[in-house]
Amino acid sequence: MKKEKVRERIIRVASDLFYRQGYNSTGINQIIAEADIAIGSLYNHFSSKNDLLQAYLVKEELSWFEGFENSTSKISNPREKLLGLIDYRKKLQQTSKFAGCHFIKIVSEIGEGNPSVSAFAKQHKEKQKEMIRTLVNEYAVQVQKIDSDLIAENIFLLIEGAVVTSTINRQNDAFDQVKKIVQGLLP
């Protein structure tokens, strides 16, 4: 096994803490202790806690899209890939024990107090929506006569709603319902 680099260990530990207990409830000293590093090591890699937060968000975005790609890489049909996206989001909720979306959590905690963080989260959601739109457009070529933009927007909103609902209810029934609705939207 490859030895984890200090920078990656700091990001991994901070990411886990930010997600589990919240950004505001996580102190630099806790990150240093749990990463088992010297304070100088942290500041060699990150100029501030906010800098570390940005690295966390970048890591989570890369991980999200990589995970989706890995979970649907064998699917070529765009309709099936969209249904695979619902399964992927459902799996993320299960593996996080219904802790919710990293990006929704950080925005709800920080609000507009950190414009670069809220802009990054908004851009991440736009990338997700654009990915859905691309898949719907690929599907539309096959079936014609569908409003791709409206359907993509609806699928995005349904999935986001299922994430929030499953986080609150601590179960994944909402994803099964969303999957049925999407199957109806994509004849």
Structural domain boundaries of the chain?
A: 53-185
Residue showing tokens 């499953």: 166
- How is residue 116 written in tokens? 């670069």
Q: Which of 123, 127, 122, 184 is nearest to 158 (CA)?
A: 184
pLDDT score, position 1: 55
What are the per-10-residue average pLDDT scores of the chain (187 residues)? 82 94 94 93 92 95 96 96 96 91 92 89 96 94 84 95 92 94 90
Give the per-residue pLDDT at 121.
Answer: 94
- Look-up of token digits 């993320």: 92
CATH 1.10.357.10 is the classification of domain 53-185: yes
Do residues 45 and 6 make contact, with C-beta atoms less than 8 angstroms apart?
yes
Q: Tokens in use for 108? A: 């709800």
What pLDDT is attached to residue 2?
61
Question: Which of 179, 166, 12 lies closest to 92 in space, CA to CA?
Answer: 166
Phi, psi of 145 (to 5 degrees): 45, 45
Are 89 and 67 contacting, i.e. CB atoms less than 8 angstroms apart?
Answer: no
Q: Within 13 Å of residue 165, how many CA atoms lie on the same side as its CB?
A: 15
User: What pLDDT, on the 0 to 100 scale, is given for residue 145?
Assistant: 77
CA atoms of 108 and 112, how far apart (whole Å): 9
